[in-house]
Amino acid sequence: METINKYEIKAANFKTYTGEIDIIAQKGKVICFIEVKTRKEGGLFAPAEAVNYHKQNNIKSAASAYMNRYKLKNETRFDIIEVLLSEENLYNVSSINHIKNAF
């Protein structure tokens, strides 16, 4: 798999009956379950605010399924990556914010 910023990407769009995880990556011994949220710049809410309690529980449940499927005992972490798109051109990314231990 690919390595980005010392994160080894293990899976993308991992789906279970309870939910989906956008990216599963490993950095050192820590398995990171990452939710990616994209919004247009200048919106009323930050992208991370879309990851509510219900969504967090779905991600945690899917993460548990992943850990059980592969019999992993690693430390885990739940992150959010916010992607903000330019108001003028939605094909231009204006910023990316990686929130570690988001929930």
80 Cβ neighbours under 8 A, 6+ residues apart:
34, 35, 36, 37, 47, 48, 51, 98, 99, 102, 103
* Choice between 62 and 43, residue whose per-residue pLDDT is larger: 62
Each residue of 50-99: pLDDT tens digit?
999 999 999 999 999 999 999 999 999 999 999 999 988 878 999 999 99
- Per mean pLDDT, which range of 1-5, 19-23, 47-51, 91-95 is the poorest? 1-5
For residue 38, name the pLDDT band (cuts at 50, 70, 90): very high
Q: Which two tokens stand for residue 43?
A: 């919106």
The reported pTM is 0.92
